[in-house]
Amino acid sequence: MPSPRFDAMSVDLSKKIGDYKAAAGTDGEKVTANERNAILNRALAELFNTKWNEVKGDKNLFIQIFPELYREVEITTASTGLYTIGVIGNLDFDFYATFDARKDTGNVYITSLQKGLYQIVKSSKHPHYIPSAAKPYVFEVNRVLEFLPATEYNAQKVKHSYIKFPVNPSDGTPFGAAGTYDSPFYSSWHEIIVEIAKQIYLDMSQQKG
């Protein structure tokens, strides 16, 4: 069973809503297995978004809460210093926000900056934000990473660290019972996620009623 955490939460949710099924893939009398999957995926996203908003997008504080949502991958930039996130085979469809990056050659640290500074860095109009080999920057715009100065990142290997969102990293789809990928949250969040899912179910039931 490749998704034990997600499947265990599905079974637990079925108990919580009085529709117990011993297997995550088994339909209940109140909700189908697919409906439970959808509710749980909403709960995963709600937990993520709630905590992200609580820390006001502070990446360091967020990773202190969810160290399991930190991921480092090796990527290779294009000749223009660009890298497109979410290409089949790269397993980074779960990308949410760049944490940091570093160039393999010389182990150079690459500073991730907010999008509002993009034009300032691109035009080199501010003396504090002039990209160089020793002081490079990376921006994420529309799921494309741009490394500056571009001339330093012509087909270069880079270690890219990012915060991942709870979706399938291979294609960005929601998780499912007995899926290839499991919920990224540690098991310690199991009860909280199930309680969020239960409340989502109850809200849905009231709306139907």
DSSP result, 38-56: HHHHHHHHHHHHHHHHHTT
Tokens of 172: 């960005």
pLDDT tens over the chain, length 209 residues: 589 999 999 999 999 999 999 999 999 999 999 999 999 999 999 999 999 999 999 999 999 999 999 999 999 999 999 999 999 888 999 999 999 999 988 889 999 999 899 999 988 888 889 999 999 999 999 999 999 999 999 999 999 999 999 999 999 999 999 999 999 999 999 999 999 999 999 999 988 76
At 79, is the secondary structure helix, strand, or coil? coil
Domain residue spans of the chain: 4-57+173-208, 64-164
Q: Quick count: other Cβ atoms within 10 Å of Cβ 182?
A: 16
Give residue 125's pLDDT: 81
Q: How far apart are CA 25 and CA 101, in angstroms?
A: 39
Distances (CA, A) of 56 to 52, 70, 83, 106: 6, 17, 27, 33
Q: Is 198 exposed, middle or buried (0-12, 13-18, 19+ CB in 10 A)?
A: middle
Helix, strand counts (H, E) of the chain: 5, 7
Q: How far apart are CA 46 and CA 54, in angstroms?
A: 12
Q: How far apart are CA 122 and CA 147, in angstroms?
A: 10
Tokens of 163: 């915060």
Q: Is 19 exposed, middle or buried (0-12, 13-18, 19+ CB in 10 A)?
A: middle
